[in-house]
Homo-oligomer: A and B are copies of this chain.
Amino acid sequence: MITHPAFSVEPWCIRERELHLDVLAQSESIFALANGHIGLRGNLDEGEPYGLPGTYLNSFYELSPLLYGESGYGFPESDETIINITDGKLIRLLVDDQPFDVRYGRLVGHERVLDFRSGTLKRIAKWISPSGGGVQVCSERLVSFTERSVAAICYEVEPIEDRVRLVVQSELVANEPLPSSSGDPRKAIGLGSVLSSEDYGCRGLAAELVHRTASSGLIMAAGMDHILDGPDRTESSCESYPDMARVTVTTVLEPGQKLRIVKLLSYGWSAERSRQAVRDQVAAALTGARHTGWEELLASQHKYLGEFWDRADVELDGDLEIQAAVRFGLFHVLQAGARAEGRAIPAKGLTGPGYDGHAFWDSETFVLPVLTLTAPQAVAYALRWRHSTLPDARQRAAELGLRGAVFPWRTIAGKECSGYWPAGTAAFHLGADIAHAVVSYLGATADEDFEREVGLELLVETARLWCSLGHFDSSGRFRIDGVTGPDEYSAVADNNVYTNLMAEQNLREAAAAAERHPERAAALGVEGDELARWTKAAAAMTVPFDERLGVHPQAEGFTDHEAWDFAATEPDQYPLMLHFPYFDLYRKQVVKQADLVFAMYLRGEVFSEEQKARNFAYYEALTVRDSSLSASIQSVLAAEIGHLDLAYDYLGEAALMDLYDLERNTSDGLHIASLAGSWISLVAGFGGLRLRSGRLCFAPRLPEQLSRLAFRICFRGRHLRVEVTPLEASYLLSIGKPLELEHYSEQLTVTTGKVLVRPVSPPSVLDRPSQPVGREPMSRQAGRRRANRAVRRPRSNKNEGSQS
């Protein structure tokens, strides 16, 4: 956890004014740049010191064997692990023969800024070398949203006072040594040097390295080129080797002179194409980038982001820190998904190697809902990626004795990589989560081509899964036994409410889609009998209810289990999974993350208001939030039920997850889903937005700490802006044809240019539910005061705290 205010709070950027080496790895994740294809961790230009060097290409992975103390049929045999590819960020600097390294000499000025509008990471460092030479280094780095395979760095050095002699080495380095990994299962495994050289070469100030992975057999190429601007007598040279290429620039700067190097980077990879083809592709992209030039790359980046914020921005009055955090979250969600284009959106985006670079259900359940209303094109691509993995998913289903498709719990390229089936393979809800994302995307875009080409088949194959996974019992109820729901502190239970309700929707939506596209459905082998079975299973779906307690058990039997002894659990025993065996967690009433509460969000229409309130209170007392996927959903339900203060507290936790390193693993990469969750918490929580039958419904309500919330979404080609104040909500259509929507249960039609204003109804007053002792959310009210103080004196706290 980061206990000192490492980053200052500004509306459109994250700014770091002191370099804290104790949180260097966290800052590298926070300052990571990516476009969904290339990811660069926010490592210092000179490479060292580092927390964790990191350069990634989406879906460029190596295979390693998955081993088992005792193996079993169907246990996955190979793990796909994202690898740290050739590092092109490196620009080493010698000042009068002393290497520029912030650990030596004196760092008299430091600032890094991640700018959400320019889409760049800027750095200014003022450094006095041990031998007294002083330089100011200004760098600005971007990973282009518009040129997918291009990144660029503008690197400038100037003397502070006296003349300095400089040598700059701009490099490509493959197989960088990495810090060794720990035993924490959430971290990445270390594979060692996995890139073997296939080709390399240089010409002018450009160089390329081509490498192959041994087991996965993927080929990648990295290229760099440079544009120099320095005083006369600036000299340069280039050399290349199998694992390294280097451009060396030498000059002497007099006071007032400046050396400017624009480093253009290009990356490509392929599983199919030859090494020469991949190398050519990278060389071509470099030529293109050189043609574009730094200023133009910068301008395009700015324009791309300008358009994004125009349709996606969220504004907040009353909490500056959350204002910054929600934009930070949106920016990183965009970075994770914008140009993935047929590849997965991993849980940590391309910001670090955590979770081995795998994508999980949170892609569809947290990230896509945000993108659906802010960057729908990216959603189509993400779901096309899932669709492209259908052959693997069908094969997995067959291997498991099931019909349809079983998508992998965690994967990069489509194969199941989960080494612990009760919390992996058994979490079949993923199939329904994907179906839900398809339905939401279709609802928000009415993209018929997509439905016909991609959506229908995803719905059909997941519906088939449910039909073969469940069965009708002797009293005619449809049961789904022995599966694991979202809560990872329960597993392999019967009739998990979340799973069953999501499956029910999946079955119904598949039938409806098949009826809309009878020819395409027939081509997928769907016949009338099958539709009838889906409809019948949906209608007979078991949803257990504990009449005695008046609540829904998370799964059958859950409410009969022993309650976890929270009073006897020490604060340092969280997360529980690192201190207690699964067997103990599974058989007791303790909840890692929203599960039944999640069902009440995504399938809210199934629950009465009273049930929601009772269920919420029941599960609040059991939920420890040992997952980053919980706070935002608890926030949404708390807001819906009327616990606005609590919702606000949870919003704070979700939004600040990484800026404060609350899960203590931000060093491995950002929690993209939790960042998405901060948007969900604001828009679905306080904005009360639900998508029902393809219609936008709002039930907005603000906590007393916020005086205004405004958010923009795009929906079926329209751009809508919603503004909520304590007493009123206003709806404004900026682009598009008139739109019908609901405010509470009132039907409204908004037309462009005309603001519709409606009153906000106050919530009923309810007792605030209690959480397990010690697991209450941090008070956002107090956090806000703290943060606001920090804003007033941003540079005063250098030694205030240390990392815990």
Contact = CB atoms under 8 A, between A and B. Distances in A.
Given A584-B401, A587-B492, A420 B67 contact: no
Contacts of A583: 74, 400, 421-422, 425-426, 482-483, 492
A69 B66 contact: yes
B67 A584 contact: no
A12 interface: no
B482 A69 contact: no
A68 interface: yes
A73 B582 CA distance: 7
Contacts of A584: 400-401
A177 interface: no
Interface stretch (A197-205, A317-325, A556-564, A687-695): A556-564
Nearest to A556: B557
Interface in A26-85: 66-76, 79
A33 B424 CA distance: 46
A586 interface: yes
Contacts of A481: 557, 560-562, 587-588
B492 A418 contact: no
A69 B581 contact: no
A185 B79 CA distance: 21
Interface string A473-512: 1100001011100000001101000000000000000000
Count of identical protomers in the assembly: 2
A129 to B, nearest CB: 46
A346 interface: no
Nearest to A71: B185
A67 B68 contact: yes
A587 B185 CA distance: 27
A315 to B, nearest CB: 42
Contact of A185 (B72, B491, B561, B582): B72
A577 B75 CA distance: 12
A74 B583 CA distance: 10
B418 A70 contact: yes
Contact of A562 (B471, B577, B581): B471
Interface string A570-598: 00000001111111101110000000000
A690 B72 CA distance: 38
Given A400-B583, A584-B401, A68 B419 contact: yes
Q: Is the interface of A mostly helix, strand, loop or mixed?
A: loop
B71 A68 contact: no
A581 B79 contact: no
Residue among A68, A75, A418, A583 having the largest count of chain B Cβ atoms under 10 Å: A583
A183 interface: yes
A70 B581 contact: no
B482 A587 contact: yes
Contact of A70 (B399, B400, B419): B419
Contacts of A71: 183, 185
Contacts of A471: 562
Given A481-B587, A560-B479, A72 B581 contact: yes
A660 to B, nearest CB: 25
Interface string A71-109: 111111001000000000000000000000000000000
Contact of A578 (B73, B75, B421, B586): B73
Nearest to A475: B548
Contacts of A577: 72-73
Contacts of A400: 581, 583-584
Nearest to A410: B70
Contact of A421 (B75, B473, B482, B582): B582
A314 B79 CA distance: 55
Interface string A525-566: 000000000000000000000001000000011001110000
A631 B189 CA distance: 45
Contacts of A424: 70
A490 to B, nearest CB: 10
Interface in A380-416: 399-401
A71 B66 CA distance: 11
Nearest to A469: B587
A425 B581 contact: yes
Contacts of A66: 69
Contacts of A562: 471, 479, 481
A73 B577 CA distance: 7
A474 B474 CA distance: 29
A71 B471 CA distance: 32
Contacts of A73: 577-582
B70 A69 contact: no
Residue among A185, A474, A481, A577 having the largest count of chain B Cβ atoms under 10 Å: A481
A560 B69 contact: no
Contacts of A474: 548
Nearest to A584: B401
Contacts of A580: 73-74, 401
- Name the 3 nearest CB pairs between A and B, nearest first: A69-B419, A482-B587, A74-B581
Given A481-B557, A494-B557, 8 more contacts: A66-B69, A68-B69, A69-B420, A70-B418, A72-B185, A73-B582, A421-B582, A491-B492
14 contacts: A69-B419, A70-B419, A71-B183, A72-B581, A72-B582, A74-B581, A400-B584, A421-B581, A421-B582, A421-B583, A479-B560, A482-B586, A483-B587, A556-B557
Interface of A: 66-76, 79, 183, 185, 399-401, 418-426, 471, 473-474, 479, 481-483, 491-492, 494, 548, 556-557, 560-562, 577-584, 586-588
